[in-house]
A and B are shown apart, each in its own frame.
Chain A
Amino acid sequence: LAKTTQPISMDSYEGQEVNITCSHNNIATNDYITWYQQFPSQGPRFIIQGYKTKVTNEVASLFIPADRKSSTLSLPRVSLSDTAVYYCLVGDIPGRRALTFGSGTRLQVQP
């Protein structure tokens, strides 16, 4: 499983766009990039997944450059309810190897 590096924490204000970058220099050809969100006292939940270029859903966008050695999760116009920990995972079949989450990025949104 590719090792990932994310910022430990980020601060933002309501209405701003937040970009969280994840580095994964040793990503393999078959690996997908998946982001999860975790609120306090809850299990992580899926936000978005991509393989290359850009993916957008109703919650976020995921930007992946051509070399795929990093990815950026973009949250448009954040609100207080976006305060959470965000995890970046890189891998092919979850569970084929040990699936570790790392520390994630703690996003704090202020009013």
Chain B
Amino acid sequence: DAGITQSPRYKITETGRQVTLMCHQTWSHSYMFWYRQDLGHGLRLIYYSAAADITDKGEVPDGYVVSRSKTENFPLTLESATRSQTSVYFCASSGGQAGNTIYFGEGSWLTVV
């Protein structure tokens, strides 16, 4: 079941370059999220979105930009990548009902050199 897919799965980029991580879900879920997870640590929320054209900052939004022009897509852009942004990035989605669960993508491994 490929309900939520991320691309690229693996990326190496240089400091200062712009990088966009893509996220696509096929369930028409209202809510979408971006998390980062550094090696050996927990998940930290970067941005989230309640619907198309509605986005909010999470715990660690600095250095990231998101957009949501269509319900099914939620790209995350690193405007000028830094080494501290080396991490695994997880996209997730959820329906808009109380008690709905959250479904995660397989992750995008990003290394900034």
Residues of chain A at the chain B interface (Cβ within 8 Å):
30, 32, 34, 36, 41-46, 49, 51, 85, 87, 92-96, 98-104
Contacts and interface: CB of A to CB of B under 8 A. Distances in A.
A99 B48 contact: yes
Contacts of B42: 85, 87, 101-104
B97 interface: yes
B96 interface: yes
Given A43-B107, A100-B59, A104-B42, A30 B98 contact: yes
A86 to B, nearest CB: 11
Contact of A94 (B35, B49, B94): B94
Main secondary structure of the interface of B (DSSP, over half): strand
Contacts, number: 74
Contacts of B104: 43-45
Contact of B45 (A42, A51, A99, A104): A99
Contact of B58 (A44, A92, A98): A98
Main secondary structure of the interface of A (DSSP, over half): loop
A34 B102 CA distance: 10
Contact of B56 (A30, A92, A98): A98
A51 B99 CA distance: 9
